[in-house]
Amino acid sequence: MAMLAGVLMQLLAQHNIVAAARSGVSPAALKRSAENRTAALEPARWPRDALTIANLQQLDVILVTHAHMDHLDLNSLKALPKSAVVVACAGCASLIRPLGYSDVRELRWGERTTVNGLTVTAMGANHWGKRWPWGRAYGFNSYVLEKNGRRMLLACDSAMTDIFAPLHKNPPAIAAFSIGAYDPWIWNHADPEQVWRMFVQTGAYYLVPLHWGTFRLSKEPMDEPMRRLIAAAGPESGRIVMRQIGVAWTMPHGAEDAIGIDAAARY
Ligand SMILES: [Zn+2]
Ligand SMILES: [Zn+2]
């Protein structure tokens, strides 16, 4: 029984029961839904939130990669403008529509949708989608975003995989990968060296590291993922952008020419 409880606690910790987890913007106070009975287990967010709702400009699209608590937080979604289109993984609309969103589009791998000229295509990852260890399985999506000939990958949490390598044929300029929560969850979350390899496989030029330094979900020190990622990149580390929470970054003008991506030729 103790062992079972230990396993359960590991699963909960892994998938962030913490969760009740508020990611991104500041949510309203937690409400006493069944899901939030775990609030006592919720750690404080490590840094202050980078943005408030008032800081956000018009929000056209909200992308939900998967239903884990640190990625699909009901209180954060409740606080965001309901005029946004929500693109989500399989099964997640049932969680999101009751919050007041009228346009929720579930995508399965290979499916795409377009919002205001932005095409969103779902693809896979090496991860999983259950919200609770005993509950139903939801989908889990990475997304390729395309607009005006520019492409970006938003990778789902992922363990090491070569699933992103085919993007190399038509590489995105930017790829965003989760880089933390790998100790001991290496079978669900790649470590920084593995992330650098997956990033290189995509052929993308800029890497935006996500999923580190916010909640304590694993054993590695909070600042270790970024340090290891920069070390793994070596002389290419200048391609790692947005290294601090709360900073803004604009891709340099003409960067696609400089990095050999011929956007116009692809469309
Ligand atoms: Zn996850
Ligand atoms: Zn996660």
Which sequence spans correspond to the domains of the chain? 2-22+45-266
CATH hierarchy code of domain 2-22+45-266: 3.60.15.10
Percent of the chain with pLDDT over 90: 66
- The pLDDT, as a whole number, for residue 45 is 66
Q: Specify the long-range contacts of residues 29-35, CB closer than 8 Å, at least 24 apart.
A: 30/75, 31/75, 33/74, 35/74
CA of 72 from ligand 1 middle (Å) equals 10
pLDDT higher than threshold 60 for residue 89:
yes
CA of 259 from ligand 2 middle (Å) equals 30
- The pLDDT, as a whole number, for residue 57 is 83
CA of 157 from ligand 2 middle (Å) equals 6
Q: Give residue-wise pLDDT tens across range 192-247.
A: 999 999 999 999 999 999 999 888 889 999 999 999 999 999 999 999 999 988 88
| Burial call 20-51: b when 16+ CB within 10 Å, e when fewer | bbbbbbebeebeeeebbebbeebeebeeebee
Note if the pTM is more than 0.85.
Answer: no
Spatial distance between the Cα atoms of 165 and 180, rounded to a whole number of angstroms: 21
Residues 156-174, mean pLDDT to the nearest whole number: 97
Q: Give residue-wise pLDDT tens across range 25-72.
A: 333 323 333 333 333 344 456 667 778 888 888 899 999 999 999 999
CA of 127 from ligand 2 middle (Å) equals 10
Q: Which residue has the tokens 């949490």?
A: 157
CA of 169 from ligand 1 middle (Å) equals 27
CA of 167 from ligand 2 middle (Å) equals 23
CA of 189 from ligand 1 middle (Å) equals 8
Average pLDDT over the chain, rounded to an integer: 83
Q: Give residue-wise pLDDT tens across range 10-30.
A: 333 333 333 333 333 333 323
Q: Give residue-wise pLDDT tens across range 112-154.
A: 999 999 999 999 999 999 998 888 999 999 999 999 989 999 9
Report which of residues 205 and 264 the model is more confident about: 205
Residues, CB-to-ion distance under 5 Å, ligand 1: 68, 157
CA of 47 from ligand 2 middle (Å) equals 17
